Amino acid sequence: MPNLIGKIKMLTRARQTHIRIIEGSKITTRDKILINVFRKNTVRGDTEHHYDKFEIPVRRSTTVLDALLYAKSYLDRSVAIRYSCRMASCGSCGMKINGIPRLACYTNVSQLEGDTITCTPLSNFPHIRDLVTDFSQFFDHHKDMQPFIHNEFADIQLKTEITQKEDDSKNKEFGEFKQTPKDLDKYLQFSYCIKCGLCYSACPTAGADLKFPGPQALAQMYRYVADSRDNAINERLDIVDNQHGVWRCHFPSSCSVVCPKGVDPSLGIQLLRRHLVGFSKNEKKIAELFNKDLQE
Ligand code: SF4
Ligand code: FES
């Protein structure tokens, strides 16, 4: 069994290979493409879905989102899509493009092989309509991780009150929270997450266990555990140390492969586990959790 560092290297190799597959595919210049769009209005009560095919004129710079917006503007106004920034920053336009979770605004049609592009909604999310899915549960998992710094000395109000009461030696603990570049490096890549949900969609465990927080939420938990300004590590580890938590990940690493922002959620989960093992020094408990009935 490779150790953690070995696994991280394997993951990096897999990730590089995937990037080559996507980005190294032949760049094709075509005048038009066919776009196959998943259609179903679940809110209205549709039980069956179908695909509508649209012919879209394209240039080399056309993205899949541009193509969908063309279809919506000129061919069928009823196509439902979600988007906002059009620059891979807001995380709204996630969908499966040719079967792989991607951002539509960050995927250029010239990088995709074939003359037909198929767009389907993200897996593992409740469906709403066409390419739009419901992110409530995903955001709830994110909120469960308490994605903010816990530090009693960060409260300005408290600072004022305590400063008035306590002696000078205590006051030295207040003020700016300084971090070295090394401190920052421990969590920086995880803070680039835009909550697009692509990793959650690619995760087989998230599809099988609704209580599993998913790669995005767990990577964010690691982001705060690794932040030197945060001092609620015990409470944080308690949140993920259970049979539906961090131990549920089987390390397929598909989350890291699809992330458009270079975040490596799978690495975050492994580091969180390592931290938990080192912190609790309770391997027996971990073995018990692995053997416990996961349906509980
Ligand atoms: S970790 Fe990456 S794929 Fe997952 S939600 Fe964040 S940005 Fe999207
Ligand atoms: S529209 Fe904002 S990420 Fe694609």
The pLDDT, as a whole number, for residue 17 is 37
pLDDT along the chain (296 residues), means of 10: 49 42 52 96 97 96 97 97 98 98 97 93 98 98 96 64 54 69 95 98 96 98 95 93 94 96 96 80 50 47
Indicate if 78 and 147 belong to the same structural domain. no
Indicate if 108 and 146 belong to the same structural domain. no
Indicate if 225 and 103 belong to the same structural domain. no
Query: What is d(CA 76, CA 99) in angstroms, rounded to the nearest whole number?
Result: 23
The pLDDT, as a whole number, for residue 155 is 62
Indicate if 245 and 216 belong to the same structural domain. yes
Indicate if 284 and 170 belong to the same structural domain. yes
Please tell me if the CB atom of residue 105 comes closer than 6 angstroms to any atom of ligand 2.
yes
Q: Cα(118) to centroid of ligand 1, in Å? A: 22
Domain holding 176: CATH number?
Answer: 1.10.1060.10
The pLDDT, as a whole number, for residue 177 is 81
Please tell me if the CB atom of residue 219 comes closer than 6 angstroms to any atom of ligand 1.
yes
Strands lying side by side in the sheet with 94-97: 50-57, 32-39, 116-120, 94-97, 100-103
What crossing angle do the helices spanning 136-144 and 214-225 adopt, rounded to 10°? 20
Q: Which of 78, 98, 133 is the last residue of a domain?
A: 133
The pLDDT, as a whole number, for residue 26 is 53
Please tell me if the CB atom of residue 216 comes closer than 6 angstroms to any atom of ligand 1.
yes
Q: Which domain holds residue 103?
A: 24-133
The pLDDT, as a whole number, for residue 292 is 52
- 248 within domain boundaries: yes
Query: What is d(CA 56, CA 37) in angstroms, rounded to the nearest whole number?
Result: 12
Atom in ligand 2 nearest the alpha carbon of residue 85: 2
The pLDDT, as a whole number, for residue 30 is 78
Q: Cα(173) to centroid of ligand 1, in Å? A: 35
The pLDDT, as a whole number, for residue 200 is 98
Indicate if 125 and 147 belong to the same structural domain. no
The pLDDT, as a whole number, for residue 266 is 96
The pLDDT, as a whole number, for residue 21 is 37
Count of the separate structural domains present in the chain:
2
Indicate if 246 and 124 belong to the same structural domain. no
Please tell me if the CB atom of residue 213 comes closer than 6 angstroms to any atom of ligand 1.
no
Indicate if 128 and 183 belong to the same structural domain. no
Burial of 31 (0-12, 13-18, 19+ CB in 10 A): exposed
Indicate if 67 and 121 belong to the same structural domain. yes
The pLDDT, as a whole number, for residue 183 is 94
Please tell me if the CB atom of residue 94 comes closer than 6 angstroms to any atom of ligand 1.
no
Q: What separation in angstroms does the CA of 217 have from each of 139, 152, 210? A: 9, 23, 13
Cβ 124 vs Cβ 203: under 8 Å: yes
Q: Which of 92, 118, 133 is the last residue of a domain?
A: 133
Give the number of other Cβ atoms within 10 Å of residue 89's Cβ: 14
Indicate if 90 and 179 belong to the same structural domain. no
- For the stretch 138-175, pLDDT in tens is 999 999 999 999 987 766 555 555 555 555 545 445 56
Domain holding 114: CATH number?
Answer: 3.10.20.30
